[in-house]
């Protein structure tokens, strides 16, 4: 964002999702009603009806200094079938790349890593209508 002194961002216009694509955003907060996420996960899938990952985007919040895209995991999944084995491997890649602060008041690094894996799986499962293979 290239805001100058005195400028204020008043809105963001996002394009509509492409046909046959879906996205999910989950955040976990310690205190209800407080806008301070312990962890946040956003997942986008293109061509949801295909049996393989056509395109996936994964972004995480509150696990690094800033919001971060998980491009290595995205690349790993590209063209692979929707299986728990493939998703688990992508999550391994993600967990090896993130390093949540131990001193965070929001949650422990262990909790954040567990929630990242769980929320990514839930997002994909929900967008695929529960259709993930146990291979």
What is the DSSP code (8-state) at residue 113?
H
pLDDT per residue over 27-76, tens digit each?
988 766 666 788 999 999 999 999 999 999 999 998 998 999 999 999 99
Neighbours of 9 (CB within 10 A): 7
> Bridge partners of 22?
45
CA distance 123 to 24: 6
User: Which pLDDT score is estimated for 104?
Assistant: 63
Confirm if 135 and 59 have CB atoms less than 8 A apart: no
Q: Record the tokens describing residue 21, joined without a space.
A: 């694509």
The reply to whether CATH 3.30.390.50 applies to domain 22-127 is: yes
Domain boundaries, the chain: 22-127
**Phi-psi category of residue 39: left, alpha or beta, with phi > 0 → left and psi -120 to 50 → alpha:** beta
pTM recorded for the entire structure? 0.86
């Amino acid at each position: 964002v290239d805001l100058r002194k005195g400028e204020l961002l008043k809105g963001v216009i996002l394009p509509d999702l492409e046909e046959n694509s879906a996205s999910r955003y989950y955040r976990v907060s310690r205190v209800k009603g407080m806008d301070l996420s312990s962890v946040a996960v956003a997942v986008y899938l293109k061509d949801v009806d295909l049996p393989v990952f056509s395109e996936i985007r994964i972004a995480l919040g509150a696990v690094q200094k800033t919001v971060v895209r998980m491009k290595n995991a995205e690349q790993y999944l590209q063209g692979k079938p929707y299986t728990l084995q493939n998703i688990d491997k992508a999550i391994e890649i993600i967990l090896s790349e993130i390093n949540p602060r131990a001193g965070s008041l929001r949650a422990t690094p262990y909790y954040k890593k567990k929630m990242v894996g769980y929320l990514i799986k839930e997002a994909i499962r929900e967008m695929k209508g529960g259709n993930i293979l146990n291979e």
